[in-house]
Amino acid sequence: MNLVDRVKKILISPKQEWAVINTESQTVSSLYTQYVMILAAIPAVASFIGFSVVGYTGFGTAYRVPMGAGLASMILGYVLSLASVYVIALVIDALAPNFGGEKDFIQSLKVAAFFPTASWICGIFSILPTLAILGVIGGLYSLYLLYLGLGPLKKVPEEKAIGYTVVVVIVAIVLMVVISTVAALVTPSPMRGF
């Protein structure tokens, strides 16, 4: 699997690429080391640069997150992103039979590993905090990629794919809120006395 080709194809021709992904033999290790760990680093590093090096302006005042807090946030966000891919794969796999799909953890992990591609790529906008909102576009496209991937990889009937996608998205949103809360609570902050 060539990383650049996979990213281009999943973004430009996702239906065809999901069909290719469906037939590939992957392992947890190969998915993480050849794809997830690389792409998940983009928003983490870009956010660190954007908020701790470049800084942002709010209410007429320039502000930079202190380097220590920025590094801690970057590392924690990255680790939690890696963990969330695995947890979302567990959710996708657990819910599959409820929507007429097949339980197959590696297929679930493939979906969880590849659907956030657009979101991770758009994470580069965080280098300039004023452009970080553009990452929402990547997030929305990633939801579409999730919808396209669940059918062929989990063998979900087309009429149940939308419901399956909605349930997975709701669980993923809850998961991301929990991850963000944990990250905020353990990241050093002058407001909490660290």
Residues 17-39, mean pLDDT to the nearest whole number: 95
Please say whether the beta carbons of 126 and 46 come within 8 A: yes
How are beta strands 61-63 and 56-58 bridged, if at all? Answer: antiparallel
As a whole number of angstroms, the distance between CA 27 and CA 30 comes to 5
Residue 134's alpha-carbon distances to 71, 140, 162, in angstroms, are 23, 10, 25
Q: Which helix (H) or strand (E) holds 63?
A: strand 61-63
Tokens in use for 15?
């239906």
Looking at residue 83, its amino acid is A
Please say whether the beta carbons of 113 and 85 come within 8 A: yes
Which residue in the block uniquely carries the two structure tokens 């060539």? 2
Closest CA to 172 of 121, 123, 124, 111: 111
pTM: 0.87
- pLDDT, tens digit, 9 for 90 and up, residues 94-130: 999 999 999 999 999 999 999 999 999 999 998 887 7
- Provide the total of helices (H) and of strands (E) in the chain, helices listed first: 10, 2
Which residue in the block uniquely carries the two structure tokens 């902050």? 189
61 phi and psi angles, rounded to 5 deg: -120, 130
At residue 136, the pLDDT reads: 83
pLDDT above 80 for 193:
no
At residue 190, the pLDDT reads: 53
Residues 171-175, mean pLDDT to the nearest whole number: 82
